[in-house]
Amino acid sequence: MNTDIRNLEPKVVWNKFADLNAVPRPSKKEEKVIEFMMDFGQHLGLETIKDDVGNVIIKKPATPGMEDRKMIVMQSHLDMVHQKNADTNFDFDTQGIDMYIDGDWVKAKETTLGADNGLGVATIMAILESNTIEHPAIEALFTIDEETGMTGAMGLKGDVLKGDILLNLDTEEDDEIGVGCAGGIDVTATRTYKEEDTPEGKKGYTITIKGLQGGHSGMQIHEGLGNSNKILNRLLFEGFENFGLRISEIDGGGLRNAIPRESFANVVIDAVHEEAFKFEMKQLSNIISTELKTMEPNLEIVILETEPLKKVMELGVQEGLTKALYAAHNGVYRMSADIPDLVETSNNVARVLVKDGQITILCLTRSSVESSKMDLANKLRATFELIGCEVEFSGSYPGWTPNMESSILKVMRELYVELNNEEPHVAACHAGLECGILGQNYPDMEMISFGPNIKGAHSPDERAQISSVKKYWKFVLEILKNIPKK
């Protein structure tokens, strides 16, 4: 790890972030980081609790003179998205993140950085450890598994927290004050198929899609980024239609909340079509690259001859699969009619796995309107059920309804203008924040979300802006001093 990061300002935040990033913490494997946070709180002599699902709560009394202020909950999630390029040798279960400085940005070497939401965690740690920062009574809430199910927030009981105001430190634009977010639901389609012996006289090929940016499947779904699963299927569909292409295996995408960057397929075609197949696929690859050149200048579509695999999908199921993947909605489904420029509803075709007689397709559908969320989920269900898939809905979580009259919003808006001589962007976002879930058990708690500039979250291009962290930290300190009285 680049030790220069520990010398960045504010040092108290960057040092805590470096400490945190030395601890492996992929979603659903947070045991090590839970132990790390428990040790941290207990070492400070603060009341430190681990609840039934693994969330960590650390309580710190108000500093002298701040006892009459409302109690606040400072909240961030412990887990991080674990994404790397296919050719990167890195084990998220055992290794800490290898960081470096690039101009005004902190990045990781070919993996996600974990600034989402590690910088929020580090901020809270710095405040808990400080003997000089003014603040009201604090309940620090560190949730687990935000990225792959929000099970930490869902499992938090309604009698654990006593705070009046929740500060969620999980927004990724430093001029934004978040007051609402989208809910989501996982859509999983599965079915079995018969494998057939690969016919004689076939030529084998691997088709590889790589070089895409990827990114956050909520915050960046409107940007026109390429989806490797949809690109790959376009090639498979055309190859089948024109040359009788047969599929042996598909392995595309990864996590539901990450726009897929890489997809691979092993296929066969009749040897007699070899030259025509290469020509047509090259033409189609050029067309796709031209379509996406503005947003995806590094897209690579690589088609290489290889030894045919011994098995292929049964023909009827393959035809249905390629058509269903073509029809499955990906990207923005509906823009909000009430909030300008806000994506209301979207879907990410995140993962496609075809191997050993089993098809698995993973999607994440998001919406700030519950009925619209279920409308799109049902559209996907109908698409996949038409080809004989079983479709399961799971992990549903609610959105967060904006409260434009909250006292903390007024305070933060005024402070932002005072510090920066401009108005903040008060907005709802298309990401899934935990505020909506926490609000179910704490309906009277005022909630707000903010944070520093983080770009490329959920991808190996994730980066945190150094100058923005300085701006954000100054904002945090002023907010703590100006929490309303009880």
Strand, coil or helix: what is 39? helix
What residues does 390 pair with on adjacent strands?
A: 190
Name the phi and psi angles at 263, rounded to 5.
-145, 150
Angstrom distance (rounded) from CA 15 to CA 10:
9
Are 155 and 62 in the same domain? yes
Are 476 and 357 in the same domain? no
Angstrom distance (rounded) from CA 449 to CA 429:
10
421 by Cβ neighbours in 10 Å (0-12 / 13-18 / 19+) ranks as: exposed
Angstrom distance (rounded) from CA 399 to CA 215:
21
- pLDDT class of 149 with cuts at 50, 70, 90: confident
Within-domain flag for 377:
yes
Average pLDDT, the chain: 96
Could you say which of 371, 397, 423 is where a domain stops? 397
Are 167 and 219 in the same domain? no
Are 331 and 413 in the same domain? no
Could you say which of 377, 397, 417 is where a domain stops? 397
Angstrom distance (rounded) from CA 280 to CA 20:
50
Residues listed for the chain: 486
Q: Residue holding tokens 């681990």?
A: 50
Could you say which of 397, 429, 445 is where a domain stops? 397
Are 83 and 169 in the same domain? yes
Angstrom distance (rounded) from CA 243 to CA 303:
15
Are 328 and 475 in the same domain? no
Q: Please give the residue range of the domain that contains residue 367.
A: 185-397
Are 280 and 390 in the same domain? yes
Within-domain flag for 486:
no
Find the mean pLDDT for residues 418-428. 95
Angstrom distance (rounded) from CA 6 to CA 374:
46
Within-domain flag for 346:
yes
Strand, coil or helix: what is 406? coil
Q: Is 79 a catalytic residue?
A: yes
Tell me the per-residue pLDDT of 62-116, one tens digit each, with 9 for 90 and over. Answer: 999 999 999 999 999 999 999 998 889 999 999 999 999 999 999 999 999 999 9
Q: Residue 65's pLDDT is what?
A: 97
Within-domain flag for 222:
yes
List 116, 139, 146, 176, catalytic entry: 146
Find the mean pLDDT for residues 326-341. 93
Above pLDDT 70, what percent of the chain? 100
- pLDDT class of 431 with cuts at 50, 70, 90: confident
CB distance 182 to 218 below 8 Å = yes
Are 368 and 288 in the same domain? yes
CATH number of the domain at 224, please: 3.30.70.360
Within-domain flag for 87:
yes
Strand, coil or helix: what is 452? coil
Cis geometry, peptide bond prior to residue 421 (ω within 30 degrees of 0):
no
Within-domain flag for 228:
yes
Are 393 and 412 in the same domain? no
Are 368 and 237 in the same domain? yes
Q: Residue 85's pLDDT is what?
A: 83
Are 210 and 273 in the same domain? yes
- pLDDT class of 2 with cuts at 50, 70, 90: low
Q: Is 146 a catalytic residue?
A: yes
CATH number of the domain at 408, please: 3.40.630.10
Q: Residue 1: pLDDT above 60?
A: no
Q: Residue holding tokens 């924040």?
A: 433
Number of domains in the chain: 2
Within-domain flag for 307:
yes
Q: Residue holding tokens 């009574």?
A: 137
List 30, 79, 116, 170, catalytic entry: 79
Q: Residue 209: pLDDT above 80?
A: yes
Tell me the per-residue pLDDT of 26-53, one tens digit each, with 9 for 90 and over. Answer: 999 999 999 999 999 999 999 999 999 9
- pLDDT class of 340 with cuts at 50, 70, 90: confident
Are 215 and 267 in the same domain? yes
